[in-house]
Structure 1
Amino acid sequence: MNILITGVAGFIGSHLCEHFLQKEGIIVTGVDKMTGNYQKEFKERNIQPFLHHPRFRYENIDLAVDDLKQILPKVDVVYHLAGIPGVRTSWGSGFNEYVQNNILATQRLLEACKGLPIKKFVYASTSSIYGEQKGKVSEELKPEPLSPYGISKLTGEYLCKTYHQFWGIPTIILRYFTVYGPRQRPDMAFHIFIKQIMQDKPITIIGDGKQSRDFTFVTDCVEGTASVINCENCVGTTINIGGKENATILEVIDTLEELIGKKAAVTFQPAAKGEPKHTWADISKAGRLLNYQPDVSLKEGLKKEIEDLAQLYKNQ
């Protein structure tokens, strides 16, 4: 089987690539333009272990600009994970990057897939499309994104649905809920908190710290994502991929202090515009269709991320 992963050098994309390369008979083409809203060296670290693997081919391609036909021949499944993440940087002129990389790139990739015998096209979306909701959110709720970032990802979802309806492209939409773990992007909260506590620097919490998230460990996320290949009734559907535990930011800080063995000096800033107070995934649909059952606890997952970052920053 031939699999294409866009955003292969990113946080989730590199873990998904690693997962498939452990399976005999699977060939992976990885696409990444190695730019974005964080330093290139993090992506290079993510992808380095695969570059000489006999069943991996890397292509440095900009999905919004380059000819995409060269990467699609013989591809059975497309995993479209590439894009610009982040709520806070999506306001103002920064939204141009989101239009280019989240909307235009998705449309061009779908367009390039027309007429090809692709079995599945999996689009990685986000819980940010839901906006502010109460309790567990199911896929049937009306999307109400609070940020330009959420709007850009929801637009990608609508593009997938439209190309499925009119061109028969077998799209599946996965909505990820706050993924964390080793290789997490340096702009994400857990990465920042762990680094600052280890280096005896004060940490800043945006908001009152009582906001809660459905935290999804990256290997659980990848298991759910990879299992779509074997799902017979997934085409045309939207599926939440959430975690094992829901917790507040203050509870996460307490756990990090315990695991690192240091007390954090905490300061607070006003809440950011566009970020919901709470997220919580109803994953019953993923359980039915994908047999998805996340099993990594928050404490266990944080321990693994701490170990990874301790190695990354050991000489700093």
Structure 2
Amino acid sequence: MRCLVTGAAGFIGSHLCERLIADGHTVRGVDCFTDYYPRPVKERNLANLRGHAQFTLHEFDLADGVPTAAVDGVEWLFHIAAMPGLNKSWTHFDEYNRCNLVATHRLLESVKESKTLKKLIYASTSSVYGKYASGDETLPTKPSSPYGITKLSGEQLCRVYGDEFGVPTVVLRFFSVYGPRQRPEMGIHQFINAVLTGRPIKLTGDGLHVRGNTFVHDCVDAVVKSTAAMTGETFNLGGGELVTVLDTIRKIERLSGRAATIERHPPRKGDQFATGADVGKLFKHVGWKPTTSMDDGLAQQIEWQKTLL
């Protein structure tokens, strides 16, 4: 297949590009290298892709419009690009609106007349459910942050372009993805880095928030398999183990052989109290379920982060 991956230089996007190439597909990557985190981090993500005969990188901002050459002839389109995170969305709403909603609109506009597009996979988030995101896709959507609002609005754009123009879209709601290349501001990355360097973990809240963490390779496998799902469907995509934030820190201590120092901070506005994906619908439609244990996934991320020190 001729594939297009937006956010190709990011955490999930770079892994997805590598998987698609390994499966024999041709991949066009798109990234605008926002300053959410340093460009050298994203360039490191691309190390295995740059120069590969089956991969080309297009650097532009989707919100400015999508060049015809980028989408011409594309059969599978994976829209992974987004401005992530809860905290910054309270103070930089215009940026989140531009990156998550305007960019999605421009992308949909660019393919609404496509004769080759077979599937558009839109990467959404458990944040569309709000503070309590445990269950299946029938949970009410009640975002508790501007970030979640922009991502839910992106889902609705996909629905409208499916209904009115026949854009063949599938929505995947990601739950707490972790693993090698995880973004530096994400919790597990920060916990591991603090433990490995002997610095205190800055823990917001009581640490009893429950997370259903998803290993990145499991996530990518689900994304690829979802190309076989029925158009217009929405699926939860999450790991099978539910652990508290404190439990995750204890696992990191055990796997790294080092003790953590915890520094307590007030809870963040809009943070989720519980996330746990019921992925029964995704399994029923495409036969996917997570296979990586939390211990195995954390061990791989710890070893990767050691190489960054």
Mark yes or no: TM-score above 0.5: yes
Q: Which amino acid aligns with 1:23?
A: D
Q: How many matched pairs?
A: 308
The match for 2:243 is 247
For residue 277 of structure 2, what is the amino acid of its counterpart? A
Partner of 1:153: 151
Using the TM superposition, give the Cα deviation of residue 66 of structure 1 relative to its aligned residue in structure 2, in angstroms: 3.8
Please give the alpha-carbon distance, in whole angstroms, between the structure 2 residues aligned to 1:103 and 1:67. Answer: 14
Residues of 2 paired with 1:242 and 1:307: CA distance? 23
Any idea what SS the aligned residue of 2:124 has? strand
1:98 partnered with 2:79: no
Residues 48-59 of structure 1 correspond to what in structure 2 (within 5 A)?
48-59=47-58
Which deviations, in whole Å up to 9, do the C-alpha atoms of 1:235-293 show, x marking residues without a partner? 00000001021100100011111111111110111111101211111100011012111
1:57-116 deviations in whole A, cap 9, x for unaligned? 110011001443220111001100001000011002x11110110000000000111110
C-alpha separation in 1, matches of 2:72 and 2:151: 26
% identical aligned pairs: 42
Gaps of 5+ in 1: none
Picking from 262, 266, 270, the partner of 2:262 is: 266
Stretches of 4+ aligned residues off by more than 3 angstroms: none
How far apart, CA to CA, are the structure 2 residues paired with 1:54 and 1:253? 41
Q: Which residue type is aligned with residue 242 of structure 2?
A: N
Per-residue deviation, 1:36: 3.6
Task: Report what 2:81 is aligned to.
Answer: 82
RMSD: 1.0
Residue matched to 1:68: 67
Aligned residue type for 1:20: L
Assess if the C-alpha contact under 8 Å between 2:170 and 2:232 holds in 1.
yes
Distance 2:107 2:260 in 1: 44
**Does the Cα contact within 8 Å between 1:11 and 1:185 map onto a contact in 2?**
yes
1:139/1:238 contact within 8 Å kept: yes
Q: How big is each residue's C-alpha offset from its partner over 1:142-188, in whole Å with a ceiling of 9 and x where there is no partner?
A: 20000000000000000000000011100110000000000000000
Normalising by structure 1, report the TM-score.
0.96
SS in 1 for 2:264: strand
Report whether the alignment pairs 1:179 with 2:173.
no
Any idea what SS the aligned residue of 1:162 has? helix
Q: Is the 8 A contact 1:36 1:84 kept in 2?
A: no
- Counterparts of 1:206 and 1:116, CA distance in 2: 46
| CA distance in structure 2 between the aligned counterparts of 1:212 and 1:264, rounded to whole angstroms | 19
TM-score by length of 2: 0.98
Offset of residue 123 of structure 1: 0.3
CA drift at 1:49:
1.1
Aligned counterpart for 1:285 among listed residues 276, 281, 296: 281
Supply the distance in 2 between the matched residues of 1:149 and 1:202 (Cα, whole angstroms): 28
Quick one: distance in 2 between partners of 1:276 and 1:308? 27
Deviations 1:196-246 (A, max 9, x none): 111111111110000011100000000000012233xx2000000010211
Q: Which runs of 5+ in 2 are unaligned?
A: none
Q: In 2, are the aligned partners of 1:91 and 1:147 still within 8 Å (CA)?
A: yes
- Structure 1 CA distance for aligned equivalents of residues 7 and 163 of structure 2: 25
Does residue 298 of structure 1 match 2:294?
Answer: yes
CA shift digits 1:31-69 (9 cap, x unpaired): 001124111111000012111111111100110014432
